[in-house]
A and B are shown apart, each in its own frame.
Chain A
Amino acid sequence: MAMLTAKDLSLGYGSDVILKGLNFEVNKGNYLCIVGENGSGKSTLMKTILGLNPPAGGEIVWGDGLQQNEIGYLPQQTVVQKDFPASVKEIVLSGCQGRMGRRPFYNKEEKQLAEENIEKMGISALKDRCYRDLSGGQQQRVLLARALCATRKLMLLDEPVSGLDPKVTAEMYALIKSLNDEGTTIIMISHDINAAVRYATHILHIGDKLFFGTKKEYLNSEIGKFFVDEEQIKEDISRLEEVLGKDTVQ
């Protein structure tokens, strides 16, 4: 059974429907990229998947032993966070809040888990630093570590590279890819179609025309041919190889 299945899903707020007839499924180990122009409903879809916004019609079915509150979510940064006095450790630990149940405090295992994920994201040296003093890429790693504390099964990433420079962007994509290789299912929202095509296994394109299928199907489809610039991809890959070294880019 699929981890997540959208059946004839409609999105919107109240009676205001912005998107209709959405069908797709996500299986274990998939890397699904949701692409579409600004205002096409990407953020609304994400809120609906997270359960923050009820569907306007249709339904989302959870399977494979997964529950809605078991999503590791990487939100876009908010204004509040820019001046927030909190250490990296505190923020990563707050990813364990879904595990606490009715307990008021974090236990040993949860603290251990936070430590492990800090190490995994390569930010051990920044553990006691203040979040607001970090660079954009470092902040994203902190939030990714926090999301990993929530779950290792499914990650939902909302524009994870927005505002990052090319080198850090490439590192971030590589990091996400490595998580996917270890078995974490990824759903990523992006307006960067070229990057989506490079890393994803499946593509969901939303907008005036809907498309859902594997990467190959997308590249051969009309809508895919229209949006994906093959030359651009080749250029991107060669630039990546310069930055990261040949072996890391697949």
Chain B
Amino acid sequence: MISTLIMYLSYPFVRYALIVGVLIAFCSSLLGVTLVLKRFSFIGDGLSHVAFGGIAIASVLNLTNEMLIVMPFTVISAVLLLRTGQNTRIKGDAAIAMISVGALAFGYLLMNIFSTSSNLSGDVCSTLFGSTSILTLTRGEVILCSVLSVAVTLIFIFFYNRIFAVTFDENFARSAGTKADNYNLLIAIVIAVIIVLAMNLVGSLLISALVIFPALSAMRVFESFLSVTVCSAVLSVVCAFSGIVISIFAGTPVGSTIVAVDVLAFAVCWLIGRIRGE
């Protein structure tokens, strides 16, 4: 089995898939803890549907580089969602639901009306559940993904203390002169970037799993913010790596295999938490 793995690793596309998969899993888990604790779990889900709408527009316009339109589109939606979260008539969760299903519907509508490919349902399915595109990454895409991942990680480390402060107690942070709104904005933008990146890996319907499962699992077992964050990053990377390897051996879809492993890890952590609690 090991020798088969080494054989697979000699193909560049497998190496690329593993590198990108691990990087994306790492980044998405970093902010997961904050999103879960701020009760923003569904923002990830909402944004991924928006990104789906973005992809539909990009494919209608026949753009070769989808990122150009999907990235700004998603970032702007993230900012809007966060703004509506505070003191407006339409409450946060309703706003997310509205924007996400709206984008989903318009995306599918656009793809249907201006269809350029012969296999429409296949296209839609692969955008929603992750395609084999993770196995057809080019060198340029791998580099772009690596650069963005490093940027996200640096931002997270640099602002770690502020992010913690704003997550734990926004009012206290404000009273101490921390610009809480700016940090909320930063969190929203970073999450949007991560989601666009992760679309390649697991598809838009499964992204929130990648964001929240490692965080929730780590929260069952660990007791400090730092250890929860570190554990969720490690867990996410391990799950993504083993998910990709399993999917190569078993021929299963990459995205759903990774998420299945994440769910399994959550079950184990939950059990550990329960046993310890008694």
Q: Which residues of A contact B (CB under 8 A)?
A: 50-52, 68-69, 71, 73, 75, 78, 80-81, 83-87, 89-91, 94-95, 97-98, 100, 104-106, 128-130, 133, 146-147, 150, 156
Residues of B within 8 A of A156 (CB): 175
Q: Does B274 contact A (CB under 8 A)?
A: no
**Shortest beta-carbon contacts, A-B, top 10:** A69-B177, A130-B223, A98-B176, A87-B224, A73-B175, A86-B225, A50-B175, A94-B165, A85-B228, A97-B165
Residues of B within 8 A of A150 (CB): 175-176
A147–B168 CA distance with the chains assembled, in angstroms: 14
Q: A100-B161, A104-B161, A129-B223 are in contact. Are A86 and B177 (CB under 8 A)?
A: no
Known A50-B175, A80-B168, A84-B225; further 6 A-B contacts with Cβ < 8 A: A81-B169, A84-B37, A85-B222, A86-B164, A97-B178, A100-B161
Residues of B within 8 A of A106 (CB): 161
> When the two chains form the complex, which single residue of A52, A105, A130 contacts B175, counting CB atoms closer than 8 Å?
A52
Residues of B within 8 A of A81 (CB): 168-169
Name 29 A/B residue pairs within 8 A (Cβ), A-sorted.
A50-B171, A68-B177, A69-B175, A69-B176, A71-B175, A73-B175, A80-B168, A81-B168, A83-B219, A84-B37, A84-B168, A84-B225, A85-B218, A85-B222, A85-B223, A86-B164, A89-B224, A90-B225, A90-B226, A94-B164, A97-B165, A98-B176, A98-B177, A104-B160, A128-B223, A129-B223, A133-B223, A150-B176, A156-B175
A97 close to B176 (CB less than 8 A): yes
Residues of B within 8 A of A130 (CB): 223-224
A146–B172 CA distance with the chains assembled, in angstroms: 10
Q: Does B83 contact A (CB under 8 A)?
A: no
Q: Which residue of A lies closest to B38 (CB)?
A: A80
Q: B43 to nearest A CB, angstroms?
A: 15
A73 close to B178 (CB less than 8 A): no
Residues of A within 8 A of B114 (CB): none
Q: Does B173 contact A (CB under 8 A)?
A: yes
Chain B positions 109 through 122: 1 when the CB is less than 8 Å from some CB of chain A, otherwise 0: 00000000000000
Q: B36 to nearest A CB, angstroms?
A: 9
Chain B positions 214 through 233: 1 when the CB is less than 8 Å from some CB of chain A, otherwise 0: 00001100111110100000
A90 close to B172 (CB less than 8 A): no
A205–B178 CA distance with the chains assembled, in angstroms: 31
Residues of A within 8 A of B15 (CB): none
A81–B158 CA distance with the chains assembled, in angstroms: 24
* Chain B residues numbered 153-210 whose CB sits less than 8 Å from any CB in chain A: 158-162, 164-165, 167-169, 171-178
B173 close to A97 (CB less than 8 A): yes
A150–B172 CA distance with the chains assembled, in angstroms: 10
A98 close to B178 (CB less than 8 A): yes
Residues of B within 8 A of A128 (CB): 223-224
> When the two chains form the complex, which single residue of B38, B162, B168 contacts A86, counting CB atoms closer than 8 Å?
B168
Residues of B within 8 A of A75 (CB): 169, 171-172, 175
Q: Which residues of B contact A (CB under 8 A)?
A: 33, 37-39, 158-162, 164-165, 167-169, 171-178, 218-219, 222-226, 228
Residues of B within 8 A of A146 (CB): 172
Q: A97-B178, A98-B177 are in contact. Are A73 and B161 (CB under 8 A)?
A: no
Q: B277 to nearest A CB, angstroms?
A: 10
Residues of B within 8 A of A71 (CB): 175
Residues of A within 8 A of B172 (CB): 73, 75, 94-95, 146-147
Which of B39, B173, B176, B223 is the most central at the interface, judged by chain A CB atoms within 10 Å of its CB? B176
Q: B230 to nearest A CB, angstroms?
A: 12
Residues of A within 8 A of B224 (CB): 85-87, 89-90, 128, 130
Q: Which residue of B lies closest to A89 (CB)?
A: B224
A85–B218 CA distance with the chains assembled, in angstroms: 10
Q: Which residue of A lies closest to B215 (CB)?
A: A85
Q: Which residue of A lies closest to B222 (CB)?
A: A85
Residues of A within 8 A of B169 (CB): 75, 78, 81, 94
A97–B165 CA distance with the chains assembled, in angstroms: 8
A215–B141 CA distance with the chains assembled, in angstroms: 71
A87–B224 CA distance with the chains assembled, in angstroms: 5
Q: B69 to nearest A CB, angstroms?
A: 33
A94–B165 CA distance with the chains assembled, in angstroms: 6
A86–B223 CA distance with the chains assembled, in angstroms: 6
> When the two chains form the complex, which single residue of B37, B162, B222 contacts A80, counting CB atoms closer than 8 Å?
B37
Q: Which residue of B lies closest to A74 (CB)?
A: B172
Residues of B within 8 A of A98 (CB): 176-178
Residues of B within 8 A of A94 (CB): 161, 164-165, 168-169, 172-173
Q: A62 to nearest B CB, angstroms?
A: 14
A147–B178 CA distance with the chains assembled, in angstroms: 14
Q: A14 to nearest B CB, angstroms?
A: 11
A47–B39 CA distance with the chains assembled, in angstroms: 23
Q: B137 to nearest A CB, angstroms?
A: 33
Q: A214 to nearest B CB, angstroms?
A: 27
